[in-house]
């Protein structure tokens, strides 16, 4: 058996959500089914599904490939590098 769930949500909010879900390969009904199942399973607000922005993706790639990465032997060395104080 299925239940129909209805809710009034601002049009702009729905359009934005549908665009994000489309990028994730989901539609609104699929997302709601997933969210409710996860809420029930975890007994908490569900999961993170994020679209990482290009700047963050580039930073992750740089770090993974050791480009433009600073390496410090200690927290004190890191502090000294950024503050100039020891």
Same domain, 56 and 42: no
Q: Are residues 36 and 74 in the same domain?
A: no
Same domain, 59 and 85: yes
What is the distance between the alpha carbons of residues 76 and 73, in angstroms, rounded to a whole number? 8
Q: 40: number of CA atoms within 13 Å, CB side? A: 6
User: pTM for this one?
Assistant: 0.52
> What is the distance, to the nearest Å, from the Cα of residue 57 to the centroid of all Cα atoms in its chain?
12
Backbone angles phi, psi at 27, to 5 degrees: -110, 175
Q: Which domain holds residue 85?
A: 52-86
Q: Are 65 and 58 in contact (CB under 8 A)?
A: no
Please tell me whether residues 37 and 10 are part of one structural domain: yes
Query: pLDDT of 20-68, one tens digit each?
Result: 999 999 999 999 999 999 999 988 887 676 778 899 889 889 988 989 8
Domain with residue 44: its CATH number is 1.10.1220
* 27 and 40, same domain (yes or no): yes
């Amino acid at each position: 058996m299925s239940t129909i769930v209805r809710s009034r949500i601002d049009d702009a909010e729905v359009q934005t959500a549908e665009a994000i879900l489309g990028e994730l390969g989901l539609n609104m009904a699929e997302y709601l089914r997933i969210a409710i199942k996860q809420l029930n399973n975890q007994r908490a607000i569900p999961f993170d599904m994020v679209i990482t922005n290009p700047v963050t993706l580039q930073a992750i790639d740089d770090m993974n490939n050791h480009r433009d990465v600073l390496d410090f032997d200690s927290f004190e060395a890191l502090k000294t590098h950024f503050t100039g104080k020891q």
